[in-house]
Structure 1
């Protein structure tokens, strides 16, 4: 059995809103929205990967808050784990630095106004429950 590789997705929350990032690459994903994040590197913890990926992709300083219940299959051997995170005081505002061409802060009522990547829909549903709570 091949080793599973965890991809961390950030449910970046601020003032009751969720940050969505629109993919610009690869072509088959471009134009669809996702929770920003990326692969956990060997020897790296998932929460450290989350902080690193958000710094690389959005130029922000964040703090993981908690793991969102669930695990969602991606293209083998990858699986998606979502984490809630918040911006640290003094962090710059998020900017689409790599793999994205737009960002949107979505209120709970706006969560389904964007076309999420299929593999992120279940994670976003979990986060929607957290936002409403």
Structure 2
């Protein structure tokens, strides 16, 4: 009966490699090391991207709250502007009424002055 279990990692060290196999093994070790470096860099980039994503999410939440506050402030200012506009329109309307009354009073005064002149000329 033969042993079918795989050799342990230590037993591979004892295997004699040809020069060509050593060159190939060195090449793959270098490639594996390079891939591991790239994987580490990618892991750092992913971690940095995740941190940025968290920061942007927090900033987005803050901006949404500020936007809500500004929207409420704009609504209040629009209401105040509407009140001021209505008040200005009321004053303008009242001013127009007073202006009309003044014109009527001036016309009446001119009529009375003319009447007085006529009366004075008769005497």
TM-score (norm 1): 0.13
Indicate the structure (1 or 2) with the bigger Cα radius of gyration.
2
Task: Give the structure with the higher percent strand.
Answer: 1
Q: Which of the pair has the greater relative contact order for Cα pairs under 8 Å at 6+ separation?
A: 1
TM-score (norm 2): 0.14
